[in-house]
């Protein structure tokens, strides 16, 4: 079985590599506008000025270019001379990104487009990796490898296929069929517990996909609830099915949580059977479901808090809205999130009895093939 898994893993990696190579050969990407990187070497001037009848901080900064065609040169940039929704106050040694715009007369102007955040992101990622390996040991390391493969599948298979005009749902399903076995086996090992969890995950994912399709159609969602969707449609000139993209997002989103639910229920069943081999199938299922019910109740609360936290700015826009509540939830941008949350939650709830049933059947069947 391990040899089979290694062969499967080899073909998956080979498939990912060939897909990336093929896309590199076919797709002609337009030249990108150069973005320079710089560090604030000197704050020349800092004062309060009036812009659009409002007091605003004005800064005159000297920046040293650290990356790009002007590397090593110093430029002067004014910050705060135009009104912005969120003005930043830059300080000495701040690392920033510089965009270049060229006027009709050919004169170039420079402005700070954003901070450079790579260092902070890298430190946080290293903390995560070290803690994961330190606490979970070898299993933690293999789970990190699984996470890396999932990342590659998403960014080098699913997203490029969708971007090239392929059906988003088909691309999401294809990616899921690669992610599920690879990540599960790497994270939890080659055993009956993992095989059962994979089976429960696939069934729950299928149910989630069917429900998503039914209720997205029933609610007449278009997939254009966000500004990003509108920009994407313009950039791709209508080549992407936005409704399909919405469905694909629901499928991929619920996949990550299903791992935790299904593997936990599968492990509970086999642990109960190992602790008391005399338990029959009915008792085993009931005891495991008793734990699963607690899992479901905590999971539902967690999902609500997670989605609320993610949509907090949106919710604040509606908290003082004079419109009635029933009208507010009818807006597509709100209905989109409600359907996403409820359909995903239904799939997660159903994964508990489904996985528990499969695990009970396997654990109670003495003739079952040992993995």
Q: Which residue segments constitute the domains of the chain, with CATH numbers given?
A: 38-115 (no CATH), 137-364 (1.20.1640)
Q: What is the pLDDT of residues 158-204, one digit of tens each?
A: 989 888 888 888 888 889 989 999 889 888 888 889 999 999 999 99
Phi and psi at residue 237, to the nearest 5°:
55, 45
CB 92 within 8 A of CB 59: no
Instruction: Give tens-digit pLDDT for 69-89.
Output: 889 999 998 888 776 666 788
Residue 243 scores a pLDDT above 70: yes
Tell me what pLDDT residue 105 has.
Answer: 73
Do 266 and 351 form a contact (C-beta atoms < 8 A)?
A: no
Helix, strand, or coil (residue 220)? coil
Mean pLDDT of the chain: 82
CA distances 281 to 76, 154, 198, 309, Å, are 75, 39, 21, 41
pLDDT one-digit tens code per residue, 210-232? 998 899 899 888 888 777 777 78
pLDDT at 309 over 90: no
Q: Which residue has the higher pLDDT, 179 or 312?
A: 179
pLDDT at 240 over 90: no
First to last CA, the chain: 7
The pLDDT confidence band at residue 268, using thresholds 50, 70 and 90, is very high
Task: Look up residue 331 and give its two tokens.
Answer: 């807006």
**Using 50, 70 and 90 to split pLDDT, how confident is the model at 327?**
confident
At 102 the pLDDT is 78
- Tens-place pLDDT, residues 283-305: 999 999 999 888 888 777 777 77
The stretch 109-131 carries a mean pLDDT of 92
Least confident piece of the model among 84-98, 145-159, 191-205, 357-371: 357-371
In this predicted structure, the answer to whether residue 42 has a pLDDT above a threshold of 70 is yes
Q: Say what the pLDDT of residue 84 is.
A: 66
pLDDT average, residue stretch 50-64: 82
Share of the chain above pLDDT 90, in %: 30
> Does residue 357 register a pLDDT over 90?
yes
Over residues 257-286, the mean pLDDT reads 90
Sheet holding 54-67, edge to edge: 74-79, 54-67, 35-51, 95-102, 108-115
């Amino acid at each position: 079985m391990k040899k089979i898994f290694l062969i499967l893993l080899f073909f998956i990696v080979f498939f990912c590599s060939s897909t990336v190579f093929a896309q590199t050969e076919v797709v002609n990407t337009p030249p990108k506008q150069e973005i320079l990187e710089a560090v604030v070497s000197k704050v020349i001037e800092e004062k309060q000025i009036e812009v659009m009848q409002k007091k605003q901080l004005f800064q005159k900064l000297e920046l040293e270019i650290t990356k790009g065609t002007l590397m090593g040169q110093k430029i002067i940039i004014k910050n705060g001379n135009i009104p912005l929704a969120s003005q930043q106050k830059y300080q000495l040694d701040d690392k920033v990104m510089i965009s270049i715009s060229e006027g009709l007369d050919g004169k170039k102007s420079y402005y700070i487009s954003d901070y450079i955040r790579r260092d902070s992101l890298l430190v946080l990622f290293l903390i995560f990796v070290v803690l994961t390996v330190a606490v979970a040991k070898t299993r933690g390391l293999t789970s990190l490898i699984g996470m890396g493969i999932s990342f590659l599948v998403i960014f080098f298979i699913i997203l490029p296929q969708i971007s090239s005009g392929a059906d988003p749902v088909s691309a999401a399903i294809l990616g899921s069929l690669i992610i599920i076995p690879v990540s599960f086996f790497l994270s939890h090992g080659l055993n009956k517990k993992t095989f059962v969890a994979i089976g429960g995950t696939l069934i729950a994912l299928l149910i989630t996909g069917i429900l998503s399709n039914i209720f997205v159609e029933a609610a007449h969602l278009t997939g254009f609830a966000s500004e990003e969707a509108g920009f994407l449609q313009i950039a791709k000139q209508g080549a992407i099915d936005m409704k399909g993209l919405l469905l694909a997002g629901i499928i991929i989103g619920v996949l990550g949580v299903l791992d935790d639910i299904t593997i936990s229920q599968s492990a509970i069943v086999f642990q109960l059977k190992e602790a008391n081999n005399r338990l029959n199938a009915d008792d085993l299922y009931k005891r495991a479901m008793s734990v699963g019910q607690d899992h479901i109740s905590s999971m539902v609360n967690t999902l609500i808090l997670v989605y609320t936290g993610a949509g907090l700015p949106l919710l604040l826009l509606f908290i003082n809205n004079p419109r009635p509540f029933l009208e507010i939830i009818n807006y597509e941008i709100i209905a989109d999130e409600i359907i996403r949350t409820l359909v995903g939650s239904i799939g997660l709830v159903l994964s508990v009895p489904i996985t528990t049933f499969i695990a009970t059947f396997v654990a109670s069947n003495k003739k079952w093939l040992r993995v």
